[in-house]
Chain A
Amino acid sequence: MSTISEAPVSVVAPKDNREKMLDRAMSRHQYSGNALIEVLHTAQELYGFLSPELLKTIAHKLRLPPSRVLGVATFYHFFSLKPKGEHTFVVCLGTACYVAGGLGLIGKLEHRCAKAGQTTPDGKVSVETARCIGSCGLAPAVIYDGNVLARVTPNAVDAELNKIGVK
C-alpha cells in the first residue's frame, strides 16, 4: 500500500523528471483529449501503474472529466491500476497455448506465488494471463519480465522461481 500513497508525492515533486516527461508527452499531443490512450501508455511506462492521483492529474491536464479517464483506464486490459511486482510472469492462454498446457503453468504459479492477476504480498512476483501473445509456434509461451520463453513446462517455471528465491 505504501507505494500507492507515495505516488501523489512523486507526481507533485518538482525534481522528479517523470512528471516532466509525462508533461512533455502531453504537450506533444497539444494536451488533446484524443491522445488519452497514448498519454496513459506513457504514464504507465514511467510510473509502472496508474494511481488514482495520476489519473486525476492527467484528467486535469487534458481537460477531460475524471470519469472518462478512469473509464478508459479500466476498459483496456493493458492498463494496471495496481503496482506490479518485482518480477512478472505473463502466461499466454491463447488457443495454441491453452491446448498445449498453459493452464498447468498458471496452476504452478498460483500454487507457489499468487492468483492470476495478483501480486505476492511481498511484492516479488506478479502473475498475469494474456489472451494470445502471438507466439503460437512456441506454445505454451510465458513472458517473464518482458522476454518470451518458449515451450515452457511447469518444471521450467519452478526453476525460474527458485532462481529468484521464491519459496
Chain B
Amino acid sequence: MTTEELCEKQGEELSRQKSLKNRIHCCTAAGCISCGADGIKKALAQEIEAQGKTGAVEVCGTGCMGMCGRGPLVYSSTDRRLYGQLAPTDAAALVEGNAAALSTRAIDLESPFFSRQVKVVLANSGRVDPEKLNDYIAVGGYQALAKALEEMTPRQVVEEVKKSGLRGRGGAGYPTGLKWELVAKQLPTTKYIVCNADEGDPGAFMDRSVLEGDPHRVLEGMAIAGYAVGATQGYIYVRGEYGLAIQRLQAAIKQAEREHLLGSRILEQGFQFRIDLRIGAGAFVCGEETALIASIEGKRGQPRQRPPYPPASGLWGAPTLINNVETFANIAPIVEKGAEWFASIGTANSKGTKVFALAGKIANPGLIEVPMGATLREILFDIGGGVPGQKLKAAQTGGPSGGCIPEQLLDTPVDYESLAKIGSIMGSGGLIVMDDTSCMVDVARFFMDFCMDESCGKCIPCRAGTLQMHDILQRITTGAASEHDLEVLKSLAELLRETSLCGLGQTAPNPVISTLKYFPEEYEAHIRDKRCPAGHCEIEAAQQEVTA
C-alpha cells in the first residue's frame, strides 16, 4: 500500500461508516468478555439480521471503554449513549434504538469519570475494532508512519520524540528521546526494537488493555522507532497470561504485513521492519530489561550487571531499544501532531498523560487516562467516585516496587518527581485503593511475599533478604514479633535497596518503608498490643496456638 492508497482507504472506510444508520460498539476487552460481552455481541448480530437491518446497523467489537466495574458495556453511536450491565436480551432494544427501554442502565458520558479524562493513548480504545485494520486506518492509523517515512529523516524523528519530553511509561521514567538517540548513535549494525509487554505488577492492566484494544497503535509506534534508530527487527515480549492480547497482536501483525505496513517495502518505501511475538512464561523479573533480553534469547530470565546498557549491548549483544507498550502507544500521536502539542499536556518535567488501572475499594474500578499533574484526590474521588461505604486509608501505586500513600497526601500531583518524593513511584500505572478494612502491615507482607516468590535468586541480597523480611512481617502479622524485629526489618530494607543487582530487589522494600513511614502505629499495635487495628490479621488465633 502506498500513502495515497492509505488515504483513499481511510476515506472509503469513513464514508462507509457514515452511511450506517447506527454502529453499535460492544466492548470486547477481557474484563467485559468475562461478564458475557461475547454473548451480547452475538445476540446483536442476530438481532440486526432478524430486524432486517443488515447494512444499516453494524455491531463491532472494541477495546476497553474504561468503566470495567459496570461491564459488559455497549456504546451506540447514533444517540451517543453508553450502556452498562447489559444482557443478551437487551439486543432488540439496542438495535431498535429504543433508549427508553435501556434508560436504567445508561451511563452518563458527561459524568466526571469521563469528562475529567484526557485520552491520548486510549484515544482509539472503545472506538475501533482491534481485529480490523480498516477501522484503525479510518481514525488516521499509520499516517504517522507515513509522515515519518516521507517527510522526516530518522534524526528528525528522534529529535521530535526528544522535544516532546516523553518519558518511559514502564515505571522508571527515563527520557524516551534520549534512549532512542543512544541506540541511533550506535554504528549501523543489526539493531533491535523490543516492546516490553510483560506487565507483571499485581493490580495493573493498562498495557493489556492497550494491546487488546488498539494493537496497531503499538505496532505503528515500534515501526517508527525502527525507522528512527535504524532497526529492522522488533520483538514484543508479552505475558503468557494475556491470551486475548496475544491473539489480537498476531492477527494485527498479519494484517499489517499483508498491506505492506510492516515487513519489507513498508508503504512502498525502502524501509523494512518485521515484528515477532515472544510469549513470556510467567516471571515478574522479566520486566527488568536485561532479564527480558535473556528470556527472549531462550534463557532463564535473570538480570545481569549494567553497564553495558541495552542501547549499547542488548539482544544477542546488539544495540537494543526497549520501551514499554504505553510508551510506544504515545509515539504515533507525537509524530502526527508534533512535539509541541504533546508537551503542552502535563507538567514541567512530566509531559503527556498517564494511563491508570483503578482497582480495589473504589466505586468506579476501570481504566482511565489523566494528564500528568492531576492529583491523586482528583483521580480517586472525581473520576474513581470515592470509596463506597468506608473511609479511604491508602492508595498504592507502582505495585510491589511502589509505596502506600496515605489519605493526607492525596493532593500530591501525579508526576514522576512528586511521587518519588513521598516514597512511592509512578510505576506502570496500577492504582489500588484500600479502605479501613485493609491492614497495612499485611499489605506490606503481601508485597514482600510477592517479591520473595519472584526473586530470580541470582544475587544474595534479594534472594535471602526478601525471605528474611517476609519472615519478620509474617511474625508481626501473627503477633509474634518483638521490637528488635522492627529494627532488623529497617536495616534489611536499607541493605536490599543499596546492594541488590536489579530493580526488583532495590525496590522490594518500598512497600515496607512507606507503610513504616505513614502507618507506624499499625506496626506498633501488632508488636506491642498484639492486635490488628483493621481487624484483618488473625493474631488471637495464632497467640492461642503459641500458648497451647
Contact = CB atoms under 8 A, between A and B. Distances in A.
Task: Answer yes or no: are A and B bound together in one complex.
Answer: yes
Interface of A: 32-38, 40-41, 68, 71-72, 75-79, 93-96, 98-100, 130-139, 141, 147-150
Nearest to B301: A75
Contacts of B201: 132
B318 to A, nearest CB: 13
B40 interface: no
B313 interface: no
B332 to A, nearest CB: 24
B34 interface: yes
Given A95-B446, A137-B71, 20 more contacts: A36-B299, A38-B279, A38-B298, A41-B279, A75-B283, A75-B456, A76-B281, A76-B282, A77-B281, A78-B240, A78-B241, A94-B203, A95-B360, A96-B360, A98-B446, A131-B454, A138-B34, A138-B35, A139-B365, A150-B71
Nearest to B201: A132
A137 B69 contact: yes
Contacts of B279: 37-38, 41
B203 A35 contact: no
B414 interface: no
B35 A150 contact: yes
B298 A41 contact: no
B241 A137 contact: no
B430 interface: yes
A135 B240 contact: no
15 contacts: A34-B297, A35-B298, A37-B278, A37-B298, A41-B279, A72-B299, A72-B300, A78-B281, A96-B203, A131-B450, A131-B454, A135-B205, A136-B357, A138-B31, A147-B34
Nearest to A136: B359
A20 B247 CA distance: 23
A96 B71 contact: no
B231 interface: no
B361 A99 contact: yes
A138 B367 CA distance: 12
Contacts of B399: 95
Contacts of B513: none
A138 B69 CA distance: 6
A64 to B, nearest CB: 9
B434 interface: yes
Contact of B283 (A35, A77, A94, A136): A77
A56 to B, nearest CB: 17
A108 to B, nearest CB: 17
A68 B357 CA distance: 37
Contacts, number: 137
Contact of A134 (B204, B281, B282, B358): B204
B203 A95 contact: yes
Given A99-B432, A132-B204, A36 B298 contact: yes
Contacts of B334: none
Given A95-B430, A132-B203, A137-B69, A37 B281 contact: yes
A136 B71 CA distance: 13
Contacts of B31: 135, 137-138, 150
Interface string B444-465: 0011001001101000000000
Contacts of B360: 95-96, 99-100, 136, 139
A54 to B, nearest CB: 16
A12 to B, nearest CB: 25
A136 B34 contact: no
A14 to B, nearest CB: 28
A47 to B, nearest CB: 16
Contacts of B296: 34
B68 A76 contact: no
The 6 closest A-B pairs by CB, nearest first: A137-B68, A76-B281, A94-B202, A136-B359, A77-B282, A96-B359
Contacts of A99: 360-361, 432, 434, 438, 443
B86 interface: no
B167 interface: no
A96 B358 CA distance: 9
Given A132-B203, A134-B208, A137-B359, A95 B282 contact: no
A35 B235 CA distance: 13
B366 interface: yes
Contacts of B137: none
Please indicate which of the listed interface residues A72, A100, A131, A147 has the most CB atoms of chain B within 10 Å of its own CB.
A131
A60 to B, nearest CB: 16
Contact of A95 (B284, B359, B366): B359
Contacts of A40: 281
A35 B298 CA distance: 6
Contacts of B365: 96, 136-137, 139
A134 B199 contact: yes
A110 B71 CA distance: 30
B366 A131 contact: no
A138 B245 CA distance: 18
A150 B34 contact: yes
Interface string B18-45: 0000000000001101110000000000
B134 interface: no
B242 interface: yes
Contacts of B357: 136-137
Contact of B359 (A71, A139, A148): A139
B157 to A, nearest CB: 30
Contacts of B298: 32-38, 72
Contacts of A35: 298
B200 interface: yes
Given A41-B279, A77-B281, A100-B360, A95 B34 contact: no
